[in-house]
Structure 1
C-alpha cells in the first residue's frame, strides 16, 4: 500500500511527507516495511507509521530524522529541496543511460543434448542450416556499434556455440577490428556445455580474454538425468570442460548455473555441496522458465512457486552454514535482491528493471537474422509466437525502437505504473518483466496477484528481509557481503568463520 497525502508536495507545519509505500511484515503484522520512491526503506511499527502520516511526530524525534535520511520526509520545507531524493532516484535508475550493454549472438541451434526443460528449439548436430550465416553476423556487428553504450558484453549462445565456433571467431575478430576506432570496453562470454572444447579453441578464447559459462545441475546422477546426451556422460564431459577452461583461462574465468527440476528440489544440500567440491564460489538456483520444451515436460519436471520457495529457504540455510564453515559461496539471485535492499545503486539486472530491461538492457541476434529484446522473446518465437520480434539485422536500430514490439514492452514495462505493482512497497527494488507475464498469462501487463514472478520475488524479498533482521551479527555481515564486490564477501566470510 502507498500513501499519497494531499499535502505531499505543498508546505505543511513541521515536516512534509514524500511519496512512500508500505507493506505489513508477514512475520510481524504490527510492523511495516516502508519504502521511498528511490528505494530507501525503514522498518517501523504501525502505530509510529500512523503518527508519521498524521504529522504527529515531534520535530526533535529521532524517528523523524531517520525518515528524512531515507527520503521519506522533508523538514523545514522552506529551506529544503527534493534534490537528495532525485539524486538517489537517478542513481537507482542509472542503468538506463547508454542503452543495452548485453548483446547475445545465437550462432547455432545445434546441440548434443535432449534436455526435457530446454527453453529453445534445439536441432540435430548435423543440421547446419540452423547456423548463423556470415551475412547476418556482419550486419549484427554493424548494429552492435549503433548503440551508444561504452561498455559492451558480447555473449555467444546456442544450441551449442562450439558447433559453429568458426562463426564465434569471425564475429569476435570483426568486433575487435571495429573497436579499434570505436574504443568501447569489450567483454566476451561463451555460454556452452564445454563438452567439445579443444586446445585450439582455447588459444583463441585466451587471446580475447573470454569468460566461460556452463550448466551444472548438481551431482552426477542429477545432472545426467536433467541433461541427457548420447553416451550418458554429460556430467563427466562438463567437469572435463570446466577443468580445461580453468587451466587455460584462470580459476575465475569459468562459472556455472543450475536449472532446477522437480527432483532437484529434494536435494538442495547435494547441489550446493557439488559446487563446493568443484571449487565454485557462486551458485544460481534458477527455477524453470515457461518456454520451449519446458512447457511440454512441466507435469514431469515442474513445480509450484510455493515449492520453489520452500526449497530456496532450505538451500539458503545450507549456504549460510557452508560460509560459516570457512568456504565463501553466494547465491546470485539473492545477491541481486540484497544489493537492491542494502545498496543505493541499481545493478541493471534485466529481469529486475523498470522500465523493462527487455530491449533497453539486452539485445539478441538470432541465427536467422531476427532480433529480439530478450532471450525469452527468442524462446517464444521458437514456439511460434513472434510478438516480441523487433525486426532483423538488416534494419537500423531506430527501426527496432519504433517497432510494435518495443511499444508493447514500454507500455507494459514501467513497474511503478502497473496495477497492483504501483502500490507495492517492493516496487523500487523490482521489475516488470512483461515477456514472462505474456508467456504465463497471455498479457504483458499480467495479473499481478496471481503472477508467479510476483509471488517468487515477494516471497524471496520477504524471506531475505526477515532473515536479515533476525540474523546474528556474523550472518548479517555475510548477507551484506553478498550485496558487495566479491573481495568484501571473502573478508566477511573470514570474520564469520
Structure 2
C-alpha cells in the first residue's frame, strides 16, 4: 500500500485509491514534470506526452512521489472538494481508457532472459578493428593512455585483419551490408594495412553477397592529400577528434613531445571536409571531449562551426563510476552545460513559434530527438542496453582478442574470446546477464528506465570484471536530458514538425545501438 497515513476524507480516500491503481508496486508508470512553464506527463507504456493543467499536474506529481493522500489534497488547497472530485473523475477515465496504466511485472525475469538470449544471438552489422594500439598523441584524459593500452605493442598484421573480416562475415549472418570501423590508438599509423584490408573486403563482396562500408576515428594530424583522396574514393565515414580552438585543444591533446596539435588537426580536418563536400559525401563528424578545464561546450561548438565544420558532437571526460580524475566534468560543470542547453532549447522553440531565427544548434537538437523517439514509443522499441556493446561494437585488438567494445581493450576480465578459438558465447551471455541484472536491480524504480537503456556499460565496470551500481549524478543528468527531449517532442508535435525528423546514423562508435 502506498499510503502510510490513512486518508480522513472521501476525497482523500479517492486519491488514495487512484494512487494505488496507478502505482500498485514500486515501478512508476508515468512521470509528471514541468519544463519552461509547461506541465507535462509522460506515460511510460504508451509513450504519450500530455500537456496538462496545473491541478492535473499537482495530483499526478503527488501520486508519483508517493505522497500521502492528505499531502496530495493539500497541493490543491485553492480547490473545493467538489472540483477535486471532478478532477479525479477525469483521471480515472483516462486511466480506464489505457493511459497511465500499470506495468505487468510478472514476467520480468523471463523477459530479461529472452533479452539476453537475443543479444547473444544477434548478427552484428559492424565491427571495430583496432589496427593500431600505439598513438602519435598522448592526450592527458585518454583512457587508453591511463590503462597502458597505447604501450601494448605496434600495429595489427595483415593476417589478423583478414581473419577479423572473415569473423565479421560469419557472424553477420544474412545481412547484406557490413561495416568496419578502423580504430586505435591512431589507426592512420597503419594506413597501409587499412588499404590492404579494404582491398581484401572488396574482393569478398561478390562471393558473400555483402557490401562493405568503412569508418575511421582519427585525431586528424596524420591526414595527407593522399589519405583524404583515398577516404573520399572509398566513401569513408570519418570521426575527427578535436577539442576546439588550439588554445583549448592543446591543454590536453598533445603529441609525444608535449607539443600542441590543434592547429594541424583543424587545418587537415577542414581539407577533408572540403573534399567530402566537393564529392557530395556526408562530411566528417568532429567529436569534442569536454573536460573540467574545457567545459564550455557551446563556445567550443560555435568556434568549430565558424571554422567550417558542419557536424559537431559534444562528449565528455567522465572517468568511471568508481574512479574519477582531475579532467572529469564536475557537478558544477554539468550544471553549466544544462543551463546552456536550456538556452539553446529556448531559442529553438522561439524559432518553431516563428518568433526568431533558426539557431545553429537546431540540427543537433533534431537529431537527438529523432534518435530518442523509438525509445519513447514504449518497451518494444526501447533499447535494452544503450549502445551496441558486445554486438555492433565488438572490438578486435592487434593480437586477435575480442572485447565487448574498444574501451574494454586490454581488460582481460572482460575478454570474450579470440580469433583462434572464436567468440565465447558463455562469456558473452554472462556479461549480458550481469549487465541486465544490475539494470533491473537499480533501474526498475526509475521513471526513465524505458527510454534510458542504462549508463555506459564500460563506465559502470571496473578493471576486475565487476559491473557496478550506476552513480546518481550521472543518472540525474540522463533524467534531466530525457525531460528536455520529451519537451522537444511535445513542441515539435505541437507545431506539426515531428514527422519530418529523420535519423542520421552518427559516426561516433561510442554511443550507438543500431541493429
Give the TM-score normalised by structure 2: 0.69
Distance 2:133 2:63 in 1: 60
- Once the two structures are TM-superposed, the CA of residue 201 in structure 1 deviates from its matched residue by 2.3
- Could you tell me how far 1:129 is from its partner in structure 2? 4.0
Return the index of the structure with the highest Cα Rg: 2
1:402 aligns to what? 426
1:400-426 CA distance string (max 9 Å, x none): 3222xx233211333796123112221
SS in 1 for 2:170: coil
| Aligned twin of 1:214 | 240
Matches within 5 A, 1:278-427: 278-290=307-319, 298-299=325-326, 301-305=327-331, 307-315=333-341, 317-318=343-344, 321=347, 325-326=357-358, 328-330=360-362, 335-336=367-368, 339-341=371-373, 353-354=384-385, 357-378=388-409, 381=410, 385-397=411-423, 400-403=424-427, 406-414=428-436, 418-427=440-449
**Once the two structures are superposed, what CA deviation does each residue of 1:155-197 show, in whole Å capped at 9, x if it has no partner?**
1111111110011112222222222222234321111122122
Contact 1:20 1:37 survives alignment (8 Å)? no
Distance 2:86 2:434 in 1: 39
Structure 1 counterpart of 2:228, from 190, 194, 202: 202
Asked if 1:447 corresponds to 2:476, the answer is no
Alpha-carbon contact 2:122-2:391 (below 8 Å) kept:
no
What are structure 1's unaligned runs of at least 5 residues? Answer: 3-14, 75-89, 487-497
SS state of the match for residue 435, structure 1?
coil
- In structure 2, runs of 5+ residues without a counterpart are 3-21, 70-84, 104-113, 505-515
Judge conservation of contact 2:172–2:178 (CA < 8 Å) in 1: no
How do residues 73-472 of structure 1 correspond to structure 2 at under 5 angstroms?
Answer: 98-121=122-145, 129-148=153-172, 150=175, 151-229=177-255, 230=257, 232-250=259-277, 252-265=282-295, 267-290=296-319, 298-299=325-326, 301-305=327-331, 307-315=333-341, 317-318=343-344, 321=347, 325-326=357-358, 328-330=360-362, 335-336=367-368, 339-341=371-373, 353-354=384-385, 357-378=388-409, 381=410, 385-397=411-423, 400-403=424-427, 406-414=428-436, 418-432=440-454, 433-439=456-462, 443-444=466-467, 446-448=468-470, 450-465=471-486
* TM-score for both structures, normalised by structure 1: 0.71
Contact 1:162-1:192 within 8 A present in 2 as well: yes
Instruction: Describe the SS at the equivalent of 1:437.
Output: coil
Q: Is the 8 A contact 2:413 2:463 kept in 1?
A: no
Q: Deviations over 1:95-143 (max 9, x none)?
A: 999533331111112222121001213999x989420112211211111
The aligned counterpart of 1:493 is none
State whether residues 290 and 297 of structure 2, in contact with CA within 8 Å, keep that contact through their aligned partners in structure 1. no
Q: 1:22 aligns with which of 21, 27, 30?
A: 30
Matches of 1:69 and 1:96, distance apart in 2:
34
Return 336-345 or 105-114, whichever deviates more: 336-345
What is residue 508 of structure 2 aligned with on the other side? none
Aligned partners of 2:287 and 2:313 also within 8 Å: yes
Contact 2:31-2:42 within 8 A present in 1 as well: yes
* 1:225 match: secondary structure: coil
User: Does the 8 Å contact 2:28/2:446 carry over to 1?
Assistant: no
Structure 2 Cα separation of the partners of residues 485 and 102 of structure 1: 18
Distance 1:113 1:407, change over 3 A: same
